[in-house]
Structure 1
Amino acid sequence: MKLWGGRFAKKTDKLVEDFHSSISFDQRLYKQDIMGSVAHAAMLGKQGIISQEEADVLVAGLKTILQDIEAGQVHFEVDAEDIHMNVEKILTERVGEVGKKLHTARSRNDQIALDVRMYLKEEIKEITGLLLHLQEVLLDLADQHVHTVMPGYTHLQKAQPITLAHHLMAYFQMFSRDMDRLHDCYRRTDVMPLGSGALAGTTFQIDREFVKEQLGFAAITANSLDGVSDRDFAVEFCAAGALIMMHLSRFSEEVILWSSHEFRFITLDDGFSTGSSIMPQKKNPDVAELVRGKTGRVYGDLMGLLTALKGLPLAYNKDMQEDKEALFDAIDTVKKCLLVFAPMIETMKVNEKIMRQGVTGGFINATDAADYLAARNVPFRQAHEIVGRLVLYCEQAGKSLEELSMEELKDFSPLFGEDVYEKISPEKCVEARNVPGGPAPAAVKAAISKGRLYVHAFKER
């Protein structure tokens, strides 16, 4: 008989059993569900709602079930619907009638809200650790390539010279914002809903603060309706996860381009590449491509969860069962991608000479030539026009800016002097941009130092 079956005169249809059951996916919440029940049972005993002896029996029974589940000795049943009722059913079979007292002063509504929050808190900590590791990989790699000059792009056209370290630190900053978003999400997830009941709390004199302390929450929910009916913290995680994936996807796209024969800026390690079943020469960046592809899954998880919640009246509705699969998939996908992405970056070989060769051509130093004139009191717009005509002349003559003679340069402006050749060399172009946030080696070294302080501070939180 169902634990809620007293009202019903007919068994649930087998089709409905399968459709209604969530144990196939919410069983991963077993640990959180049992630990939440342990704290709840202890509180019931402390408050005299049940006897202390009964509370002790419940706690001991629950802990034994947890051990047995982790030892693979428990089989969950579909007709028990979900993880909560499976655990309660097993407990009652083991400890007898007292097991039926566990659910006093609570509902599955506040129970599942508790479980999901506890689970998400743990997963946020794990994902934060993975992101921190990726950031450390980026810092170490940037440290090695402070002087590795490469072309920077806009519109995928060569734009200005930068360094590989500067490029990597751009992603470090993106992942830092992702870290901050996860930290904020954790703070809003770290609120305990147990005690909200089905929607209106309970008539029993429970001690929510005690349960909060037992389970390590920072606060309790302030409204019972809100406590059971919102999943904005789950939406917030999926949004943060989508942004992490977006940043990983952009980075993946560059890894894919850089590893191509056309670029050859990097060579991926054999352990993080795959081959072709027909073309023996192929070395494919499948890891980066899969990360790029899996990004869409997390976007879908976010939109699915938002859509499931958007029209729900207060309080709980069965639609909210759909929150878990989307949340779990987002968590799993982000973790898998971070786990494989960091070692892919860590093991790739940087082809410094080819990166440096990439700086030649494309008039990547044109802005510096314009800056040279602007520094000599030529209005920048006029300097821009002069250098633009110089570039056109070079294209027609098949030359680069640095290949022009002084006589050719002076035909366009008498202010050009011999020092212009040094000023427009790629290395000098980079070194001259020694402003906070710029690509000059000194500026990037300062950014790396700040980055290490950021990572250390986050680890200390």
Structure 2
Amino acid sequence: MNTPLTGRIDGSPRAVLDEQILRPQFAHEAARLLPHYIAAERALVDEYHRMGVLSETDCADLHAALVALGAAGISPDAAANFSDVAFAIETGVNSRLGRTVAGWHVDRSRNDLQATAQRMYARERIDAISASVAGLAAVTLDRAQEYLTDPLPGQTHLQAAQVISPAFFLSALAEELLDTLDTLAAARDLVDRCPLGAGAMAGGDLPWDRRKLATALGFARPARHALGAVASRHWVLALTAALSNFGVTLSRFTTDLMGWGSGPVGYLWLPDDLAGISSAMPQKRNYPVLERIRGRTAHLTACYLDAALGQRNTTYTNLVEVSKEASALLPTALDAAGSVLALATTVISSFRLDTERAAADAGAEFLGAFSLANRLTLDHGIGWREAQVISGRYVVAALEQGVAPGRAGVTLLSDALTGAGHPLPHRILESLLDNAFDPVAALAAKVTEGGTSPVRVLELIQLIRRDLADRTAPRGGPS
């Protein structure tokens, strides 16, 4: 029972290695990977029985010992198990059995065992993150449908540009969340390839049924190449990249929400239990939760960069540098994504919008100048570029004279048209200005598929709901 773990090295790891590397790694794997290590070990026991390496009694005893082991049954010990989880499982089982099962762990490596446990952990976390993304998308669509006909000033280049609606904006977020589900699904497909049975790098001497091992552990398929099974952490790059891209996109939408909630704008309101105060300025009511969301999305990109740099320029084989260091921040990325999603879902489900203020601001800007130029061309035959110039001159004159958008500026528009040689009756100009600069009419005017018309936005919402249902439908076959 006291057989040393290796004949190649005498002695135990130096204290500094144990303290700085081995014990922290042990704690990480015991907390996150141990159930997956145990499941993989049990699948291997069944394979030993199938191949005739272990008797039925030995297998039953090993299964019982593995099930009973648990987190409390292993602990880091530099002398006894090199503070390594796989060795701790081995020595812990042997201790429970009180005897040596000669064939157990023959033709085996820690490399594919560890790679398998990592993928099982990642698969579990991807499913949870994907469910949270889908939940945020569903909440976003519900809130969007509340604001189909409410005008809001939309911006390009940080300047008021065209009339949109909160529904139009929020449905864009939901569409981006669908893309996030797709990239997470692609990463999950890479994860869903079982390394078990690949050995150290070149396969095994025994005829391991790797497809059976994959099925037993819920994988879609085995990793086809033995070297790739233990060397590749492409899936870590794909997963952290998907999370990074999600974070970048969410940060942009969060920036808009921060703008809506700012004092000068004042469209967005969050309840007191989601607001903050100033310690010095009693008049202030802050929304630091939005700052937290945007700030935490940065961690997602940092974790991707860490994974990429940790793998870059390494040899293509099993390396601790790749298998452990380059994926060390994966749990951090997954935790940060979960936190961001929980906070964003809470904000989206809780905010209120001052739609009257937003509509007033949309009406106070000359956001219909584009539509005015369109109508001058389509209804009155004025060349498009000339119509743009006429519309622009009307806006300049109205701003200089403090005239609000709409029919109050009919004389100014008439002057611009007459000066260009295209005089029109005032009754026609009044109708043009009424339609072009009424924010509600401006929403309805954008009838292009995917545009701001309430009918089109509702179509979008229904399409996204359908696609969301497709992406969250129960999976068939192995998980």
Q: State the TM-score, normalizing by the size of structure 2.
A: 0.91
Contact 2:54 2:104 (8 Å CA) reproduced = no
Q: Which residue of 2 aligns with 1:210?
A: 212
Task: Identify the range of structure 1 (42-51 vs 122-131) with the bigger mean alpha-carbon deviation.
Answer: 42-51
Q: Which residue of 1 aligns with 2:7?
A: 6
Amino acid at match of 2:21: H
Q: Distance in 1 between matches of 2:3 and 2:346?
A: 49
Q: Which residue of 2 aligns with 1:362?
A: 365
Residues 37 and 281 of structure 1, relative CA distance in 2, 3 Å threshold: farther
Q: Residue 354 of structure 1 aligns to a residue in which SS?
A: helix
Q: Which residue of 2 aligns with 1:349?
A: 352
1:220-255 Cα distance to aligned partner (Å, 9 max, x none) = 111111110010011100000001111221122122
Q: Distance in 2 between matches of 1:247 and 1:77?
A: 42
Q: Distance in 1 between matches of 2:347 and 2:312?
A: 39
Q: How does 1:1-400 map to 2 (within 5 A)?
A: 4-21=5-22, 22-27=25-30, 28-66=32-70, 69=71, 73-74=72-73, 76-77=75-76, 79=78, 80-98=82-100, 101-320=103-322, 321-376=324-379, 377-400=381-404
1:8-51 Cα distance to aligned partner (Å, 9 max, x none) = 12332111222331113222111111111111111111221222
Structure 1, unaligned runs of 5 or more: none
Contact 1:198 1:228 (8 Å CA) reproduced = yes
Q: Distance in 2 between matches of 1:91 and 1:379?
A: 85
The partner residue of 2:429 within 417, 420, 432 is: 417
Aligned pair 1:428/2:441, yes or no?
Answer: yes
Amino acid at match of 2:240: C
Contact 1:175 1:247 (8 Å CA) reproduced = no
Q: Distance in 1 between matches of 2:403 and 2:430?
A: 18
1:404-425 Cα distance to aligned partner (Å, 9 max, x none) = 4433212112245332133211
| Percent identity of paired positions between Structure 1 and Structure 2 | 25
Amino acid at match of 2:463: K
Amino acid at match of 2:430: E
Aligned pair 1:450/2:463, yes or no?
Answer: yes
Contact 2:171 2:461 (8 Å CA) reproduced = yes
Q: Distance in 1 between matches of 2:4 and 2:371?
A: 76
1:105-131 Cα distance to aligned partner (Å, 9 max, x none) = 321111111111111111111111101
Q: Residue 155 of structure 2 aligns to a residue in which SS?
A: strand
Q: Residue 151 of structure 1 aligns to a residue in which SS?
A: strand
Q: Distance in 1 between matches of 2:429 and 2:235?
A: 62
Task: Identify the range of structure 1 (53-62 vs 230-239) with the bigger mean alpha-carbon deviation.
Answer: 53-62
Q: Distance in 2 between matches of 1:174 and 1:187?
A: 20
Task: Identify the range of structure 1 (212-221 vs 354-363) with the bigger mean alpha-carbon deviation.
Answer: 354-363
Residues 206 and 84 of structure 1, relative CA distance in 2, 3 Å threshold: same
Task: Identify the range of structure 1 (123-132 vs 87-96) with the bigger mean alpha-carbon deviation.
Answer: 87-96
Q: Distance in 1 between matches of 2:101 and 2:301?
A: 42
Contact 1:42 1:56 (8 Å CA) reproduced = no
Q: Residue 329 of structure 2 aligns to a residue in which SS?
A: helix
Q: Distance in 2 between matches of 1:177 and 1:239?
A: 13
Q: Distance in 1 between matches of 2:468 and 2:329?
A: 30
1:370-413 Cα distance to aligned partner (Å, 9 max, x none) = 11212132222221111111121122111233154433212112
Shift of 1:149: 0.9
Shift of 1:102: 4.0
1:267-286 Cα distance to aligned partner (Å, 9 max, x none) = 01222222223333332222
Shift of 1:74: 4.4
Contact 1:23 1:78 (8 Å CA) reproduced = no
Shift of 1:75: 5.5
Shift of 1:86: 2.5
1:179-231 Cα distance to aligned partner (Å, 9 max, x none) = 11111111111101111111111101211121111111111111111110010
Amino acid at match of 2:76: E
Amino acid at match of 1:356: A
Task: Identify the range of structure 1 (164-173 vs 282-291) with the bigger mean alpha-carbon deviation.
Answer: 282-291
Q: Distance in 1 between matches of 2:101 and 2:247?
A: 44
Q: Distance in 2 between matches of 1:459 and 1:313?
A: 38
1:74-112 Cα distance to aligned partner (Å, 9 max, x none) = 463153433322322322221234467543332111111
Task: Identify the range of structure 1 (415-424 vs 177-186) with the bigger mean alpha-carbon deviation.
Answer: 415-424
Q: Distance in 1 between matches of 2:316 and 2:464?
A: 44
Q: Distance in 2 between matches of 1:169 and 1:338?
A: 17
Contact 1:265 1:352 (8 Å CA) reproduced = yes
Contact 1:109 1:228 (8 Å CA) reproduced = yes
Q: Distance in 2 between matches of 1:101 and 1:250?
A: 57
Contact 2:53 2:103 (8 Å CA) reproduced = no
Q: Residue 472 of structure 2 aligns to a residue in which SS?
A: helix
Residues 156 and 41 of structure 1, relative CA distance in 2, 3 Å threshold: same
Task: Identify the range of structure 1 (145-154 vs 4-13) with the bigger mean alpha-carbon deviation.
Answer: 4-13
Structure 2, unaligned runs of 5 or more: 418-422, 475-479
Residues 165 and 235 of structure 1, relative CA distance in 2, 3 Å threshold: same
Shift of 1:434: 1.3
Aligned pair 1:459/2:459, yes or no?
Answer: no
Q: Distance in 2 between matches of 1:247 and 1:78?
A: 45
Contact 2:309 2:326 (8 Å CA) reproduced = no
Amino acid at match of 1:417: L
Amino acid at match of 1:175: L
Contact 2:136 2:341 (8 Å CA) reproduced = yes
The CA RMSD over aligned residues, in Å, is: 1.8
Contact 2:29 2:85 (8 Å CA) reproduced = yes
Q: Distance in 2 between matches of 1:278 and 1:75?
A: 52
Q: State the TM-score, normalizing by the size of structure 1.
A: 0.94
How many residue pairs get aligned? The number is: 456
Q: Residue 154 of structure 2 aligns to a residue in which SS?
A: strand
Q: Distance in 2 between matches of 1:76 and 1:245?
A: 37
1:40-72 Cα distance to aligned partner (Å, 9 max, x none) = 111111221222221221111111123xx3xxx
Q: Residue 81 of structure 1 aligns to a residue in which SS?
A: coil
